[in-house]
Structures are given as structure tokens and as C-alpha cells.
Amino acid sequence: MSDQKVVLVTGCAKGGIGYEYCKAFAEKNCHVFASDIPQRMQDLEDLHSEKIETLELDVSSDESATSAINSVMSRRGRIDILINNAGIGGTGPLAELPLDVIRRTYEINTLGQLRMIQQVVPHMVAQRSGSIVNIGSVVGRVPTPWTGAYCTSKAAVHAISDTLRVELRPFEIDVILVLPGAIKSNLGRNNLEKLKNYDWKVYKDFNESIIERARASQVGKSTDAALFARHVASKVLSPKPPKQIVFGHMTGLFTFLSWSPLWGQNQAQIQGAEVDAPWPLILIHVGSSSFKSGAEVMTPDAPRPLILIHAGSSSFKSGAEVMTPQPPGYWSVLHPGRPAFFN
């Protein structure tokens, strides 16, 4: 039997990370099955090669999932690696986002992964080997405003992965959780397109912030998708694959936030707002751009430090102020990539 690994990747439309996963695993001498929904099969035509085949797969359909796995088994006789990549965004305030949209996000991002796992596990158990790679997100660990549907769907993927890792250990099946940071893909554009369908009522005054969050991962120093995919492929194919793969722009910041107190995490998206809060205070700006003109952060006189975390891609704009009665030495600024941003 050939030593060539057989890999199934879900969600492989051109412009997405799945497309790059296919090329990365093929470069590693794997035989890859690139899959997506019927409407996007044309996007996969450029992937066709000696090492890459394509097939239709809708992860929200039991029938489609069964058919895809049976097709792989009939063509290659085994499946070594499942890359659970298919996913959609879910941008909008949870208190106002339609439940049908939230339900669809869970159906694709969470149940879609579990549906594929349930289909592939019996074959991997028979082989006594296999790797299941679930794509989570750094925001599944540290949720951000305006993307609650997406964040919670990915948080569920994290819990599923940790549970399965123990349950599948007796069958020598590895479960690997991937936590991408900000990776360049078509996700931001798709998120913005969907926002055109909504007319916020309660959150109408926050529309600009919601739009900014929709495209936040796709601007500035976002990691190239091909580079990210090659990194993941290398780790997954290593003799002892890690339990988690955390890689990409802003993963360091989100790792730090995951260890910070909840009250610190909740001070997110401070933009165009006036904040008067007790010490100790962590102020976090996670937008794709800078604090805007007129934004003010005011802190009371106290002997404890202020930690201001600005994760945007550019500097404070004219008119933005951080005012504290304490000397400069009493506060710190963490701004990945642009440490000197006050002008």
C-alpha cells in the first residue's frame, strides 16, 4: 500500500484558506480531495492536478457528508487526514442578529465539523490511525464584540476538539485544533456583503464599528494564507503532531488576553467613546484602524498603572487623547508592531 497520505479538506473555494491547504498538503506529497458546495465547484478547477481531486460536499447535509466520505473511500481506500475548514462568518450584535443567521453559523461552523467527524471516525478506527484537524479561532478563546455568533460557534469547536482528543485516543486517532489569527482570505469581503442585509435598530449608532469589525482580520499585517497553510500542513504531518496549532497575526495579543482577567477582556473596542473607570484598568482597542478624532480615554488619579492595548493597524488620529493625571511612567502601552503611536 502506498505511503501517500489521503487528505480531505472542506471549504476550498478560491480566495479562502482551504484552497491554500489543498496546495500545501499536495506539496507535501499527499493525495488531496478538495471539496466545496456545488455552487462553488468552478472555483476549484485550478486545483486539479495529479495530487488533487475535487468533489462536492455540503457540510450542513448528512447525505452530502456521507456521499463525500464514501467517494473518497471508493477512490483511495482510506482517509488519513480530515481538515475541517468549511466555515462562515456571523457578524452583528447578538441581541439583534436574526436567530436564523446564528443557527446557520452553528450549522456550518460547529455541527458541520462534527458531522464530518462522525462520518470519518469509523474508517479511521478500522485503520487504527488518522488525524482530525478542526479549525477554531483565536476569537473562540477570546470573544470580540459584533461577532458573537462566529466566536461562540468556534468556542464550541474548541470544546468538541478537547473532548474528542480523549475519546479517540484509544483508537490512535489524533485530534488537532488550529487557532488562526488574522489571516488574509475572502472572509472579510463575505462578512461585509452579508451586513448589507441588515438594518440595525437598537445598534444603529454602532453601525460603523460593526462594519469595521467585519473587515478587521483582513487589513494591516494579516498573515498570508499560503504561508499559514504551509505552516499548518508541516505541523499536521510531523511525526508527533501538536494538540494545538496557534499561528498568524495577532495570536500573541489574543494569547495574552486569554490569560487576562475577564474584566480586562471586556474593555474591548474602545472607539469614539469616553471611558471613566476605576483602577486597575486595561483598555483594549481591537479594531482594524486607529482611535478616531475626538476619542477620549480619561482615567482617575490613582497610584496603579494603566495598560492600554491598541491592536489596530495604524496610529491614534489627530484629536484622540489619553488623559491621566499620573506621570507617563505610571502607564504602559502594548501595541504590536507599532510601539510608538502617539503623535
Catalytic positions are 150
Environment class of residue 134 by beta-carbon count within 10 Å: exposed (0-12), middle (13-18) or buried (19+)?
A: buried
Q: How far apart are alpha carbons 95 and 102 in whole angstroms? A: 11
CB 93 within 8 A of CB 148: yes
Q: Which residues fall within 8 angstroms of residue 122, CB to CB, at 6 or more apart?
A: none
Classify the phi-psi angles of 11: left when phi > 0, otherwise alpha if psi is within -120 to 50, otherwise beta.
left
Does an H or E element contain 165, and which? Answer: helix 148-167
Q: One-letter amino acid identity for 120?
A: V
Q: Which residues fall within 8 angstroms of residue 13, CB to CB, at 6 or more apart?
A: 19, 36, 40, 43, 44, 186
CA 204 to chain CA mean position, Å: 26
Rg of the chain (C-alpha set): 22
Give the dihedral sign, CA 146/148/153/157.
positive
Q: 33: which strand partners?
A: 8, 53
- Mode of pairing for the β-strands spanning 331-334 and 306-310: parallel
Sheet architecture: strand order including 281-285 = 281-285, 306-310, 331-334
Cell of 227: 504561508
Q: How far apart are alpha carbons 173 and 80 in whole angstroms? A: 9
